[in-house]
Amino acid sequence: MSLSANLREAFREQPYLQSHFSKAVLTVCTPVVLVPREDYEETEDFNTEAMYGSVLTGHKGEEKIMREIPELDVMAVYSVNKDLKMVVSDNCENVDVMNIMLPTWRHLYKRYYQNGERRKMFAYFHDKCVDICSFEQRRINFANSFDAQHAHDALYYLLFVWKQLGMNQREDDLFLIGDMPHRDWLMNRIATYITRTHTVNPVADLNRSPLANIKGMPYDMML
């Protein structure tokens, strides 16, 4: 069964989901295309569908959603499965579709980038992939997602982006977040290349938020 079919079945059978909620937030993990806000504002009749399709393939027929990230002066465009959204909309009056990386970027920017003078790169491991990002001059300097099912692949992508960004091996910071594959091996290998490597403890990072103490809770859901 598809995800939307499973969810429709859950709405029929689970008492909790039959409470007829008026609002719901549907979180999605789909690729995000970032557009500088000035480019968006200067383009007449901005075509979200065409722009997204020119950058990413495999998402034809999905609904495209655009959100502003005012802190970073950028517009984020992402997709959602239309059937999945329809199932939630049939059971909730108001549905807000949020990509998991938007609150993650906001938090990393406010919590880490604005404090200190060192350059920083962030890697969030989730859903068998790793999202790598960096900020420069109050904007996202780099943001991309890579397959990270295997630790060797994750190591390669981390070091590749680190070099691409011209980060300093001894002076700049790398922050690792989330569920890393073969964590101990990956941490040991990264430390041989990047001196200032840190793992983010959600409990301390989020000021002992109750959500941070729930085992298995994804980092983005804690924000």
* Measured distance CA(152)–CA(185) in Å, rounded: 9
* Measured distance CA(12)–CA(7) in Å, rounded: 9
pLDDT tens string 194-217: 999 999 999 999 998 999 999 999
- 110 Cα distance to chain centroid: 15
Rounded mean pLDDT, 134-142: 93
Rounded mean pLDDT, 137-163: 96
Rounded mean pLDDT, 168-182: 96
pLDDT tops 90 at residue 20: no
pLDDT tops 90 at residue 175: yes
Rounded mean pLDDT, 120-145: 96
Instruction: Tell me the H-state helices in 59-208.
Output: 82-91, 101-108, 151-164, 183-193, 202-205
Least confident of 15-29, 69-83, 128-142: 15-29
* Measured distance CA(66)–CA(221) in Å, rounded: 20
Return the closest-CA partner of residue 111 out of 11, 201, 22. 201
Rounded mean pLDDT, 157-183: 97
pLDDT class for 110, splitting at 50, 70, 90?
A: very high
pLDDT class for 19, splitting at 50, 70, 90?
A: confident
**b/e map 163-197, b = 16+ CB within 10 Å:** eeeebeeeebbbbbbbebbeeeebeebbeeebebb
Strands 74-80 and 63-69: antiparallel
Whole-prediction pTM: 0.94
pLDDT tens string 35-81: 999 999 999 999 999 999 999 999 999 999 999 999 999 999 999 99
Which residue has 């549907």 as its token pair?
Answer: 26
Q: Are 37 and 102 in contact (CB under 8 A)?
A: no
pLDDT tops 90 at residue 1: no
Residue 12's alpha-carbon distances to 15, 17, 87, 150, in angstroms, are 8, 8, 11, 38
